[in-house]
């Protein structure tokens, strides 16, 4: 049965919401559990299609896996398999991080390329180049990756681009390298720091996470029992910020760390939102029409403006006063939501990496289609301020990264529900 989300716009939001655990932290940390050779208790692990897919992979290779609410227990004492079948690999992008984990733990791995939102090419050349430079033998042929840990010599590797996934893969592989590993031009996202924190509590030796140079020492013995609490999801927090910004009203985002998305918070404040840190997170209020054009939005590696926030902020700017210019530098195909927003009455000019958004008075609800995770969330957010009803199709993408987006927004007072598509013709649109 196909499902869609129905939003009736016009209601301001009011209340407080617990920000879910970070998807992009949980996924590499679950993969890192393979290194632990014991039991890992992961708290605040979001219950998503992507984390379920990662847990299915861990079970397939031989881990014991148990979920109780937001606490996941992974027992990686007995790894039985080093291959990951296509059907599991293709369900998410982060499956590729199992390459480094399996090589470090078992010395070999075979898998197809990963899945993930279609935001562009999304190659894995940096992952393979780094692993091979550190002594592994990893080859991709016809979409199949075969690898062994080779000499495991370790050493220094300079990433030509601070890829998040490649940094994670090299951190995990680095734990088995004889001479330790130094990753130069490493990704600096908060999720990298969270992974390092888990790895250190598991008995490994990771230093410099959050900076451009990360060092993984050799020789530490993993602990038999590890526990770790996942950080709050900064992009989910940005999503609820943007929801309040477009719908108006106020909310407290419990667990939100403003420092993890300060570029976005600063821009929304400059546009007219009021924010203040609270004891438990971040309070946001938006009343009256926002002003766009408060500086160009250029996405880039952390701590630049996060690409994952671009779709959400685009939605905010469609009804803000003035013009806003966006430059999307991280992915070559991350504007799919703009076509749908234009269909709702937004005034958007697209030219390659650049999008110029001229604020209109209001959007009009209609049936729109999701093409990727954050683009889908942007369309739901647009429905909150559009006149009439907005039906968002293809919401499986959204469920990959949000625990019931409609229930969260409904708890803030939105008129929103998930509906099952009985009649097929809705799909033909």
Q: Tell the smallest beta-carbon distance from residue 239 to ligand EPZ (Å).
A: 11
- What tokens appear for 324 in the block? 């806003």
C-beta of 111 vs 320, nearer to ligand EPZ: 111
Determine the Cα angle at 27 with ends 267 and 396, to 5°. Answer: 75
Min dist. Cβ of residue 332 to ligand EPZ (A): 7
- Separation of alpha carbons 54 and 93, rounded Å: 10
The side-by-side arrangement of strands in the sheet containing 389-393 is: 367-369, 389-393, 2-8, 415-421
- Which conformational region is residue 295 in: left (phi greater than 0), alpha (psi within -120 to 50 degrees), or beta? left
Q: What is the DSSP letter of 303?
A: T
Q: Which residue has the tokens 């499902």?
A: 3
Q: Which stretch binds ligand EPZ (CB under 6 A): 79-87, 117-125, 259-267, 358-366?
A: 117-125
DSSP assignment of 250-293, as one string?
EEEEET--GGGSHHHHHHHHHTT-EEEE-SSEEEEEE-S--B--
Both structure tokens of 86? 């296509």
Using CB under 6 A as the binding rule, whether residue 94 contacts ligand EPZ is answered as yes
Question: Is residue 376 a contact point for ligand EPZ (CB under 6 A)?
Answer: no
Does residue number 106 form part of the binding site for ligand EPZ (CB under 6 A)? no
**Among this protein's residues, is 117 annotated catalytic?**
yes
Site for ligand EPZ contains 30 (CB under 6 A): no
Binding residue for ligand EPZ, selected from 9, 154, 165, 190, defined by CB under 6 A? 165
- Mask of contacts with ligand EPZ, 313-342, x by CB under 6 A? -----------------xx-----------
Q: Give the shortest CB-194-to-ligand EPZ separation in angstroms.
A: 11
| Helix, strand, coil percent values for the chain (each to nearest 5) | 35, 30, 35
Residue 307 within binding range of ligand EPZ, rule CB under 6 A: yes
Instruction: Report the residue from 9, 375, 376, 401 that binds ligand EPZ according to the rule CB under 6 A.
Output: 401
Nearest residue to ligand EPZ on Cβ basis: 165
Please report whether residue 72 would count as binding ligand EPZ according to CB under 6 A: no
- If one asks whether residue 396 binds ligand EPZ (CB under 6 A), the answer comes out as no
Q: Which of 41, 70, 74 lies closest to 55 in space, CA to CA? A: 74
Examine residue 164 and tell whether it contacts ligand EPZ (CB under 6 A): yes
Q: What is the closest distance, in whole angstroms, from the C-beta atom of residue 394 to ligand EPZ in the complex? A: 15
Closer residue to ligand EPZ (CB): 79 or 129 = 129
Applying CB under 6 A, among 37, 250, 252, 308 the residue interacting with ligand EPZ is 308
> By CB under 6 A, is residue 125 in contact with ligand EPZ?
yes
Cα–Cα distance measured from residue 377 to residue 372, given in angstroms and rounded to the nearest whole number: 9
Residue burial 234-264, b: 16+ Cβ < 10 Å; e: rest: bbbbbbbbbbbbbbbbbbbbbbbbbebbebb
Residue 249 C-beta: closest distance to ligand EPZ, Å: 25
Of 2, 122, 289, 353, the one binding ligand EPZ by CB under 6 A: 122
Residue 25 dihedral angles phi and psi, to the nearest 5°: -95, -45
175: left (phi over 0), alpha (psi -120 to 50) or beta: alpha
Q: Which residue of 27, 244, 338, 346 would you call a contact of ligand EPZ, by CB under 6 A?
A: 27
Cβ–Cβ < 8 Å for 135, 173: no
Q: Which is nearer to ligand EPZ, 272 or 376 (CB)?
A: 376
User: What residues are paired with 321 via a beta bridge?
Assistant: 291
Decide if residue 374 touches ligand EPZ (CB under 6 A).
yes
Task: Output 225 or 304, the one with its CB closest to ligand EPZ.
Answer: 304
Contact with ligand EPZ (CB under 6 A): which of 102, 166, 226, 357? 166
In Å, what is the CA distance from 218 to each residue of 182, 226, 374?
A: 11, 19, 38
Name the active-site residue from 33, 63, 117, 176: 117
For ligand EPZ, the binding residues (CB under 6 A) are: 23-24, 27, 93-94, 117, 120-127, 161, 163-166, 307-308, 330-331, 373-374, 401
Catalytic sites, residue numbers: 117
């Amino acid at each position: 049965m196909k499902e869609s989300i129905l939003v009736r716009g016009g209601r301001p939001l009011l209340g407080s919401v617990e920000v879910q655990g970070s998807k992009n932290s949980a996924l590499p940390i679950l993969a890192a559990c393979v290194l632990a050779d014991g039991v890992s208790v992961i708290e605040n692990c979001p219950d998503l299609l992507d984390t379920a897919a990662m847990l299915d992979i861990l079970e397939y290779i031989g881990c014991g896996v148990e979920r109780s609410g937001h606490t996941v227990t992974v027992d990686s004492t007995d790894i039985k398999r080093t291959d990951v079948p296509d059907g599991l690999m293709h369900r998410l992008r982060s499956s590729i991080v199992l390459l480094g984990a399996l090589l470090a733990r078992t010395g070999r791995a075979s898998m197809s390329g990963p899945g993930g939102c279609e935001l562009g090419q999304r190659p894995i050349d940096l992952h393979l180049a780094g692993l091979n430079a550190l002594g592994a033998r990893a080859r991709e042929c016809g979409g199949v990756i075969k690898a062994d840990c080779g000499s495991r010599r370790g050493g220094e590797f300079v990433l030509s681009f601070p890829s998040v996934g490649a940094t994670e893969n090299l951190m995990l592989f680095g734990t088995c390298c004889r001479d330790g590993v130094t990753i130069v031009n490493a990704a600096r996202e908060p999720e990298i720091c969270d992974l390092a924190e888990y790895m250190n509590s598991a008995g490994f030796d990771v230093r410099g996470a959050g900076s451009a140079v990360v060092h993984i020492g050799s020789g530490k013995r993993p602990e038999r029992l590890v526990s770790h609490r996942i950080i709050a999801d900064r992009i989910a927090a940005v999503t609820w910020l943007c929801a309040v910004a477009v719908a108006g009203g106020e909310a407290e985002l419990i667990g939100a760390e403003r420092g993890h998305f300060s570029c976005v918070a600063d821009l929304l404040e400059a546009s007219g939102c009021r924010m203040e840190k609270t004891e438990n997170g971040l309070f946001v209020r938006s009343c009256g029409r926002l002003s766009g054009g408060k500086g160009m939005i250029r996405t880039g590696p952390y701590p630049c403006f996060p690409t994952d926030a671009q779709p959400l902020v685009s939605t905010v700017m469609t009804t803000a006063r003035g013009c806003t210019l966006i430059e999307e530098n991280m992915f070559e195909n991350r504007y799919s939501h703009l076509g749908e927003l234009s269909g709702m009455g937004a005034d958007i000019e697209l030219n390659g990496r650049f999008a110029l958004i001229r604020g209109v008075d209001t959007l009009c609800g209609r049936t729109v289609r999701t093409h990727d995770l954050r683009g889908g969330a942007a369309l739901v957010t647009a429905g909150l301020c559009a006149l009439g009803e907005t039906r968002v199709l293809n919401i499986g993408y959204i469920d990959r990264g949000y625990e019931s987006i409609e229930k969260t927004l409904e708890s803030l007072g939105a008129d929103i529900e998930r509906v099952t598509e009985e009649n097929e013709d809705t799909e033909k649109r």
